[in-house]
Amino acid sequence: KAAYEQFLNQMGYTDAQLRAEVKTQLQIQKRLEQIRSGVKPTEEEVRFYYEVFKENYRTEPRVKARQIVVDDAKLAAELLATAKAGEDFAALAKQHSKVGAEQGGALGAAPGESEPKPVTKVVFPEKVAEAVFAKQGPGLVGPIEAGGRYYLVKVEEYLPPKVPPFEEVKEQVEKDAQEAKGNGALETYLEDLRKKAQVRFAENMPYVYKNPPVALVNGQEILLSQVLQPVFANQQTAALIQQGLGELAVQFFLPQTLESLIDRDLLVEAAKKSGKPFIGNKDEIAQAYLLYETRDLSATEEEARKFYAENPALFTVPASAEVVGVNFKSEAKAKAFREAALRGGDLQALAKAQEGTVTEYGAVNPNQLPAVLDRLVFKIKETFPKGPLGEVSEVVKLEDGTFAVLLVKNRQPEVLKPFAQVVEEAKQGVINKKRQAKAQTLIQELRKAAKVENRLSQVLAELTPKTEEKPQETKPQEAPAKP
């Protein structure tokens, strides 16, 4: 009860006021849900929604596979040789695997079953998944070390990504179309409420409510409030206001947001004129119209190769390493720990003996560690001396004046995936680039054919309070000096 009363005091509520507020919010949420659920998409709308957004239902690549997981590298190599010699993989998994032995290593199989089901990358450790799916066909993969264990995988079938037919995903499409149509109904409902609303301030308050149109798009108004709402919902705007740069936020984000709303309204108007059963709120309809008008684009292998060559970062596996940091207040203790760590022993005990603090960073990529440590692990090309605990770095001084020693394991260099492994991703990159260009051309054509009047600058000038210029004080003229 005391905590509840403290909470009420912090919020500035009485118990009755809080209960009334909660009740009001629940009533609002119930009414909004009634609006959303009060409309149902037609069969035609559902099927058209699928045609527009069918890429959203594309499956991930999957495999039917079995795996053997062991703790010993030598045993893993022996099992690979045995499997290559023709020994039954499922029998080997039952005998040796630390995971799923009772199912013959079958991935995706339910308890009591022994036949593998299609699985995605997430069932494997990252390194194992990369190797398994890079094969893009049946065969043996491994052994691959990951997390201290060794994985041997037999891929029985590779299932490439595909867009399933409508009937296979009909239930999900119906849910998505229902949500979109509900969003459209809610947007219309709220717009009607705002049109009917009358805003009054208490007597003797010096405020006036104004919501003038800041643009006309083929005669349709875009009101100031429609621009302000997304601008002030933007976290960057809030950050600028906190820094006392609210005027800069208005000058930058307001024109940008208004231009986006003009484009959106032009796309919505074009969608309506098309006669196609688009559903959703205005943003969703604009996006759907662009997707529909830029559908059926394709990419050749030559285009994909060029995209691959021009965008290597998109197809690069970043460098990685497993890192543990040990911090010390004294450089002498840090050096003593380093010497001990190179000989080996229990990490926690060695750190405690020199009053060190252990930080487990885990598996990291470049730019995920503090700057000094990141340079030490990823920018310096040479590896550190190795001991039983892994690579042991030199003692480094940190920005706060403390000293650190890093222990590094499983260091992996940056790797550019071969083109054959990412050809489909590269083709999709080409298609996305073509889609963006075609969408921009479409918007430019709509703007040329439309009558657009942007009044933002004029409206802001009219609403900006006028500051009266104070008359400059005239200094009394000094009398000329007497000769």
- Where is 269: in which H helix or E strand? helix 246-274
Is residue 179, in this structure, part of any structural domain at all?
Answer: no
Interatomic CA distance for residues 309 and 302, integer angstroms:
11
- 299 within some domain: no
Helix/strand/coil (H, E, C) string of 5-50?
HHHHHHHCCCHHHHHHHHHHHHHHHHHHHHHHHCCCCCHHHHHHHH
Q: Is residue 388 part of a domain?
A: yes
Q: What is the dihedral of CA 44, 47, 52, 58, to 10 degrees?
A: 170
Query: What tens-digit pLDDT sequence spans the chain (483 residues)?
Result: 778 777 777 778 787 888 888 888 899 889 989 988 899 999 999 999 999 999 899 888 999 999 988 888 888 888 889 888 888 889 988 888 888 888 888 888 888 888 889 999 888 888 889 888 888 889 988 888 887 889 989 999 999 888 899 999 999 999 999 999 999 999 999 988 888 888 777 777 777 788 899 999 999 999 998 988 888 888 888 787 778 777 777 778 889 999 999 999 999 999 999 999 999 999 999 999 999 999 889 999 999 999 999 999 999 989 999 999 999 999 999 999 999 999 989 999 999 999 999 999 988 999 999 888 999 898 886 778 998 999 999 999 988 899 999 999 888 888 898 898 888 889 999 999 999 999 999 999 999 999 999 999 898 888 877 665 555 555 555 555 444
Q: Which pLDDT belongs to residue 191?
A: 87
Q: Which two tokens stand for residue 21?
A: 């507020």
The CATH number that applies at residue 66 is: 3.10.50.40
Quick check: is 360 in a domain? yes
Total domains, the chain: 2
> How confident is the model at residue 381, as a pLDDT?
67
Max CA pair span of the chain: 124
Last residue of a domain, one of 413, 430, 458: 413
**Rounded Cα distance, 267 and 291, in Å:** 11
The Cα-based distances of 329 to 225, 335, 354 in angstroms read: 56, 11, 10
Task: Give the pLDDT score at 478.
Answer: 53
**Residue where one domain finishes, among candidates 159, 185, 214:** 159
**Span between the terminal Cα atoms of the chain, in Å:** 90
Instruction: Please indicate, yes or no, if residue 402 is contained in any of the structural domains.
Output: yes
pLDDT at 483: 42
Output the CA–CA distances (angstroms, integers) from residue 338 to 346, 376, 385, in the order listed. Answer: 13, 15, 10
**Does 69 fall in a domain?**
yes
Q: How many CB atoms lie within 10 A of CB 158?
A: 18
Which of 159, 187, 218 terminates a domain? The answer is 159
Tell me if 338 is assigned to some domain. Answer: yes
Collect all residues with Cβ–Cβ distance below 8 Å to 159 and sequence separation of at least 6. Answer: 59, 61, 62, 63, 64, 118
- Measure Cα distances from 312 to 129, 309, 341, 346, 365 in Å: 21, 6, 39, 42, 17
Residues spanned by the domain of 113: 62-159
Neighbour tally for 455: CB within 10 Å: 17
* Residue in 377, 353, 351, 375 with CA at minimum distance from that of residue 363: 377
Supply the pLDDT for residue 468.
Answer: 58
In a domain, 324, yes or no: yes
